Amino acid sequence: MARATAFAFRKPSVLPGFGLTLGFAVAYLSLIVLVPLAGLVVKTASMGWPEFWSLATDPRTLAALRLSFGASAAAAAMNAVFGLLVAWVLVRYEFPGKRIIDAMVDLPFALPTAVAGIALTAIYAPNGWIGRYAAEAGVKIAYTPIGIFIALVFIGLPFIVRTVQPVLEDMDREVEEMAATLGANRLQTVVRIVLPTLAPALLTGFALAFARAVGEYGSVIFIAGNIPYVSEIAPLLIVIRLTEFNYAAATAIATVMLALSFVILLAINLLQAWSRRRLGHD
């Protein structure tokens, strides 16, 4: 009996350790990730709809969510442009220092967010290296939503570069030559041939950068100014509610964030599956 079910569950293999490794992996996953996450779901469910709704639609919460999602989308869009540019020059051109720059693109992955946060604040504060000149021009960067945007650009950059880079490396140059023989100038080739081919990778990178930015906390709170309704991001509001021991409100915000992120990621995944089917690479 047991043999039969095991057989149906997995293809036979001569390698030992399937039960042990999978069992351990699933148990660990459940303990560390699934059970605690289930706690969040149970907490939300136990609230009851009216309470949840009033917490989720609290004006301060809505303002924070709007800011988090809006700034994240803007930062991911900025990164889509410049990340593509960085990936492009790294793959297509030769220039001095290329290897170092290639390696440094991962800095936001490796640098602790709090360190990035205080460093960006130091630069963009009104007396900072860049903030000083912005202030002279009458623009305040740190302690405003612009500062949040800049921090989110910083942490999102590698996602775009590292998803676009391999696709660009694998891209068939003959397709571009083909377009040229058909009379397309370089700009037409890039806009009508290269960019559509990169679009799925760009979209993936955008989604990853966006998802990361929505939840980002450490690099933002120093530069944000954290003024309710103006520059207070949703993760910070969760922390504030927690310090007030208002677990219900914290849970409601976290649930809304999770749900919104999943909906957006799901939409992007579907869009991608569709385009991948059409382009036929998988």
The b/e string for 241-267 (b: 16+ C-beta within 10 A; e otherwise) is beeeeeebbbbbbbbbbbeebeebeee
Residue 145 or 256 having the CB closest to other proteins: 256
Q: How many residues bind other proteins (CB under 8 A)?
A: 120
Rounded-to-integer distance, Cα 233 and Cα 70, Å:
10
Is residue 46 near other proteins by the rule CB under 8 A? no
* Binding characters for other proteins, 57-76, by CB under 8 A (x = yes): --------------------
Is residue 279 near other proteins by the rule CB under 8 A? yes
Residue 10 or 66 having the CB closest to other proteins: 10
The b/e string for 177-216 (b: 16+ C-beta within 10 A; e otherwise) is eebeeeebeeeebeeebbeebbebbbbbbbbbbbbbbbbb
Rounded-to-integer distance, Cα 124 and Cα 140, Å:
8
Among 63, 122, 135, 271, binds other proteins (CB under 8 A): 122
Q: Which helix (H) or strand (E) holds 73?
A: helix 59-92
CB of 98 to other proteins, least distance (A): 9
CB of 228 to other proteins, least distance (A): 17
Among 53, 54, 192, 244, binds other proteins (CB under 8 A): 192
Is residue 9 near other proteins by the rule CB under 8 A? yes
Among 1, 3, 16, 50, binds other proteins (CB under 8 A): 16
Amino acid at 119: A
Is residue 244 near other proteins by the rule CB under 8 A? no
Q: Which helix (H) or strand (E) holds 212?
A: helix 195-215
Is residue 37 near other proteins by the rule CB under 8 A? yes
CB of 271 to other proteins, least distance (A): 14
Residues 6+ apart with CB under 8 A from 217: 113, 233, 235, 236, 239
Is residue 263 near other proteins by the rule CB under 8 A? no
Residues 6+ apart with CB under 8 A from 160: 76, 79, 80, 83, 84, 87, 202, 205, 206, 208, 209
Residue 58 or 197 having the CB closest to other proteins: 197
Is residue 193 near other proteins by the rule CB under 8 A? yes
Tell me the Cα Rg of the chain. 23
Among 4, 13, 49, 59, binds other proteins (CB under 8 A): 13
Is residue 29 near other proteins by the rule CB under 8 A? yes
Rounded-to-integer distance, Cα 126 and Cα 164, Å:
35
Q: Which stretch binds other proteins (CB under 8 A): 56-64, 137-145, 175-183, 224-232?
A: 175-183
